[in-house]
Amino acid sequence: MGNLRFDALRQAMAHTPVAVAPIGDKVKDFFARDVFTRDRMKEYIAADVLEQLFDDVDSGRTIHREIADSVAIGMRKWAMDHGATHYTHWFQPLTGGTAEKHDAFFTLNKDGVLMEEFTGDALYQQEPDASSFPNGGIRNTFEARGYSAWDPSSPVFLIGDTLCIPTVFVAYTGEALDYKTPLIRSTAALCRAAREVCQYFDKGVKHVHANLGWEQEYFLVDEALYHARPDLMLTGRTLMGHASAKNQQLEDHYFGAIPERVLAFMRDLENEALCAGIPVRTRHNEVAPNQFEMAPVFEDVNLANDHNLLVMSIMDRVAQRHHFRVLLHEKPYAGVNGSGKHCNWSLQTNTGINLLAPGKNPYQNLQFVTFLVNVLMAVHQYNGLLKASIASATNEHRLGANEAPPAIISVFLGKQISEVLDKLEHATAEEAIIINAKKEMKLGVANIPEILVDNTDRNRTSPFAFTGNRFEFRAVGSSANCGAAMLALNAAVAEQLLNFKTEVDKLMEKGEPKERALFAVIRKYIVSCKAIRFDGNGYSEEWKAEAARRGLDCETNVPLIFDRYLLPEVVNMFHKTGVLTEAELHSRCEVKWETYSKKVQIESRVMGDLVINHVLPAAKRYQTMLLQNVLAVKQVFSADETATLNEQDYTIIRQIESHAGAILAGVDKMTDARHKANRQPDERSKAIAYHDTVLPVMAEIREHVDALEMVVDDELWTLPKYRELMFVH
Ligand code: ADP
Ligand code: MG
């Protein structure tokens, strides 16, 4: 009889690097090869149509049907010239990931003759049979069907023979059923508010936009080993597995040389990503064995988010060519680092100024401090919401697990910026703002150090860190749609900027000069949001106590964290900024609770199957071998000798008996807890029950399984072990 695990190992060791053919000499020759870029549009679409289209897109206006018709014709021609036969609306349902429904580029006319066709209507709007997408109750009525609609601000692209059209996904009644719709609304709100505030400093600012640079972390695992681990296949993480004797203690993987087989995968992945117009630039090993990271150059937040979702699906596909599987789960292995998706976020004006970078003159610096402090205010007021925006059944295992951002949101500023704010806080207006005879302004106490970029301390324990010219939201999970976090941040900052403007204007109406009015409000803010600033060790126990004293949100129970979406001030903020209505917030929470319960339910079932079908049979087989040995010893040796000779066997036999008994009892308890949870009257109580009563039993069972792994004969163990999953490449 073969051992599943050894068969898988043999197969894994036989995999060699797959040769990757270069697709061009220089990146610029194939970058965005599969994208209908603005330049390419010029070859396929009339100039006046394009002028109107670009103008509408850049100013956020709706596209006219006639324009859409002309664009659709050009789009189809380009796509078919490049081998496309189908098109799809590509959208981001609340399940996470992306969804698509493919249609061919033809219809039959009334005489039954096949016509190649792709109309403006088909580009504009599609009605996916969306009843199976989660909607949290919004689409329960017959009228509330869902449709997907073209997002002209993100370019269409080809994947194989299919033209992919980025779209929003909304109900007929207008409610958003996806992540893209509110993300677009939130950037619009933020950019309007930021532009208004910019007018204090520069009347030339016409547009502000938000940037996102994501860093995607992931694990690779050999496909043969993956297939021998049903938990990885079905849940994306290992539900059991004893720690490997060596894992990341030596920190020899981080920034180490990339293994050849992995490098081949990365090259292939990067080539595909570059062809799709995703400007990937950085690749390196991460802290845990077989963990890696890729990052592109930052882009507009909506486009960057599309690109991240696209990369996640490209990764999956390319990995299979290399006999790997990509694990995007936040915590595939207990005891080693999990994966995040740091979201680098900044604001930029059409005049080329990064509003979160210290400037070249006093006005720009005052502007920088203004935006910095407003972000602090927003993060302070909505720290609970921001946590909810990154919370999930999967990220739950990573957060607060001692090597990831803690489950408390705080902001790291670094020594220099902290000093600037401290000085401003204690300065008088005269000290802070010096206006000389020539009416030039100087910032007296707030001389911002010139070179801050790359000069800020690298505090890895902070969930939200200022890194010189941007904020890095690190708590976001590796499998998440960044849109959830970005739209919460955008909306919170948008509302905050509106409040700021109201306060400054009020002072100016009372006759305060502009600089003094700005300074007065900034100083008030510096004082009132101090609690959110924390530069110390976010992993420490002291910080948890300190954060609670400061009144920060310290809830760690994920289903309860989702409640933050429904706090009155949060509902009000989303309403005021026009990002999400109360009904949409309720429906989102329903989906989040439902998804949470389903994920834990699946994990718990898989765990039950695995222990009954793999772990216990292996343990029992080994126990039987030991029992037979005991009997054999008795036959051969004298009674005195038998007692000592069998001592060790007895110990192991009893250990197996005790762990196996505990596992069986645990499985009963877990099944029972699941049944009780399923009977809860609503999604929220169900999720809470799964969290409070099912997860803890799973942890208990796991302890016994991992202990068995240590005693049972290696040859009988059927599941690939941690040392194999993490070190074979
Ligand atoms: P690190 O690991 O040191 O944080 P990386 O080089 O891995 O840095 O990734 C940094 C990410 O931040 C990249 O996506 C980069 O494009 C992005 N980034 C750099 N400057 C900005 C900015 N001003 N706004 C938004 N993102 C930025
Ligand atoms: Mg980083």
- For residue 345, give the ligand 1 atom closest to its CA: 25
pTM of the predicted protein model: 0.95
DSSP assignments along 241-297, one per residue = -PPPSSSSTT--STT-PPPHHHHHHHHHHHHHHHHTT--EEEEEE-SSTTEEEEEE-
Which of 208, 209, 215, 284 for mutating ligand 1's site (highest number of atoms within 8 Å of CB)?
215
Q: State residue 401's pLDDT score.
A: 66
pLDDT of residue 119: 83
Q: Which of 186-200, 305-319, 458-472 has the lowest mean pLDDT?
A: 458-472
- Among 148, 175, 202, identify where a domain stops: 175
**Residue 382, domain member (yes or no):** yes
- The Å distance, Cα 91 to ligand 1 centre, comes to 26
Considering the domain architecture, whether residues 392 and 306 belong to the same structural domain is answered as yes
Q: Which residue's alpha carbon is at the smallest distance from atom 6 of ligand 1?
A: 282
> How many angstroms does the Cα of residue 660 sit away from the middle of ligand 1?
49
Is the predicted pLDDT of residue 139 greater than 70, yes or no? no
469 lines ligand 1 (CB under 6 A): yes
211 lines ligand 1 (CB under 6 A): yes
CA of 183 relative to ligand 1 center, distance in Å: 20
**Number of the ligand 1 atom closest to the C-alpha atom of 342:** 4
**Is the CB of 344 inside a 6 Å radius of any atom of ligand 1?**
yes
Residue 586 lies in a domain: no
Among 146, 175, 204, identify where a domain stops.
Answer: 175
In a shared domain, residues 323 and 381: yes
Tell me, what CATH number does 630's domain have?
1.20.120.1560
Q: Of all atoms in ligand 1, which is nearest to the CA of residue 469?
A: 23
pLDDT at 137: 67
Strongest mean pLDDT among 125-139, 406-420, 456-470, 544-558: 544-558
No. of H helices and E strands in the chain? 27, 19
Quote the CA–CA distance of 586 and 683 in Å, as a whole number: 11
The Cα–Cα gap between 673 and 679 comes to 10
612/560 same-domain check: no
Same domain assignment for residues 374 and 240: yes
Q: Do residue 84 and residue 213 come from a single domain?
A: no
Ligand nearest to the CA of 347: 1
Mean pLDDT of 302-306: 98
Same domain, 250 and 134: no
- What is the CA(201)–ligand 1 centre distance, in A? 26
Q: Please name the helix (run of DSSP H) or strand (run of DSSP E) that holds residue 396, with its range, or none.
A: none
pLDDT of 403: 61
Phi, psi of 165 (to 5 degrees): -115, 110
The answer on 269 and 211 residing in a single domain is yes
Determine the distance separating the centroid of ligand 1 and the alpha carbon of 484, expressed in angstroms: 19
pLDDT at 363: 82
pLDDT of 278 strictly over 90: yes
Question: Model confidence over 74-99: pLDDT tens digits?
Answer: 999 999 999 999 999 999 999 888 98
Q: What is the mean pLDDT of residues 329-347?
A: 95
Residue 465 Cα to ligand 2 middle (Å): 10
Question: What's the whole-number mean pLDDT along residues 391-406?
Answer: 82
Least confident of 136-140, 206-210, 273-277, 369-373: 136-140
- CA 354 to ligand 1: nearest atom: 23
Same domain (yes/no): 102, 43: yes
Span 620-648, average pLDDT: 92
Look at residue 703 and tell me if it is in a domain. yes
Residue 214 CA: which ligand 1 atom is closest? Answer: 14
Q: How far is the CA of 466 from the centre of ligand 1 (A)?
A: 11
Q: Which atom of ligand 1 is nearest to the CA of 357?
A: 23
Residues 328 and 211 in one domain: yes
Per-residue burial over 305-327, b if 16 or more Cβ lie within 10 Å, else e, is bbbbbbbbebbeebbeebbbbbb
Residue 549 and residue 626 share a domain: no
Of all atoms in ligand 1, which is nearest to the CA of residue 211?
Answer: 25
CATH number at residue 156: 3.10.20.70
Residue 537 CB-half CA count within 13 A: 6
Q: Is 392 in the pocket of ligand 1 (CB under 6 A)?
A: no
Does residue 450 have a pLDDT over 60? no
Q: Is residue 707 part of a domain?
A: yes
Atom index in ligand 1 nearest the CA of residue 295 equals 14
Given pLDDT bands bounded at 50, 70 and 90, which one contains residue 131?
low
Confidence of residue 59 (pLDDT cuts 50, 70, 90): confident
Q: Which ligand is nearest to the CA of 284?
A: 1
Nearest-atom number in ligand 1 for the CA of 298 is: 16
Least confident of 92-101, 383-392, 434-443, 654-663: 434-443
| CATH at residue 397 | 3.30.590.10
Ligand number nearest CA of 212 is 1
Do 374 and 422 have their domain in common? yes
CA 417, 423, 425, 427 dihedral sign is: negative
- Report the alpha-carbon distance of residue 346 to residue 342 in Å, rounded: 13
Last residue of a domain, one of 123, 154, 175: 175
Distance (Å, whole) CA 304 – CA 298: 7
Q: Is 655 in the pocket of ligand 1 (CB under 6 A)?
A: no
On whether the CB atoms of residues 221 and 720 are closer than 8 A, the answer is: no
pLDDT at residue number 284: 82
- Whether residue 67 has pLDDT greater than 80: yes
Q: What is the pLDDT averaged over residues 223-228?
A: 97
> Which ligand lies nearest to the CA atom of residue 254 in the structure?
1
pLDDT of res. 654: 97
Residue 424, in any domain of the structure:
yes
Q: Is 298 in the pocket of ligand 1 (CB under 6 A)?
A: yes
Query: How far apart are the CA of 477 and the centre of ligand 2, in A?
Result: 13
Say if residue 97 is in the same domain as residue 210.
no
pLDDT of 141 reads 42
The DSSP-derived string for 554-621 is ----HHHHGGGGGSHHHHHHHHHHTS--HHHHHHHHHHHHHHHHHHHHHHHHHHHHHIIIIIHHHHHH
Do residues 626 and 633 touch, judged by C-beta distance below 8 A? no
519 lines ligand 1 (CB under 6 A): no
Query: Is residue 346 in contact with ligand 1, taking CB distance under 6 Å?
Result: yes
User: For ligand 1, is residue 651 a contact (CB within 6 Å)?
Assistant: no
Q: How far is CA 625 from CA 180, 184, 538, 620, 717, in A?
A: 59, 64, 50, 9, 14
Q: Quick one: which ligand is closest to 282's CA?
A: 1
280 contacts: CB under 8 Å, gap ≥ 6 = 270, 273, 274, 294, 295, 296, 311
User: How far apart are the CA of 225 and the centre of ligand 1, in A?
Assistant: 34
Q: Which of 298, 342, 454, 476 to mutate to test the pocket of ligand 1 (most atoms within 8 A of CB)?
A: 298
Helices 647-678 + 695-711 axis angle, to 10: 160
**Domain count within the chain:** 3
Q: Is residue 5 in a domain?
A: no
pLDDT of residue 257: 76
273 lies in which domain range? 187-579
Expressed in angstroms and rounded, the spacing between residue 295 Cα and the centre of ligand 2 is 9
Whether residue 496 lies inside any domain: the answer is yes
- Tell me if 181 CB under 6 Å of ligand 1: no
Q: Is 474 in the pocket of ligand 1 (CB under 6 A)?
A: no
Q: Is residue 551 part of a domain?
A: yes
Q: Is 213 in the pocket of ligand 1 (CB under 6 A)?
A: yes
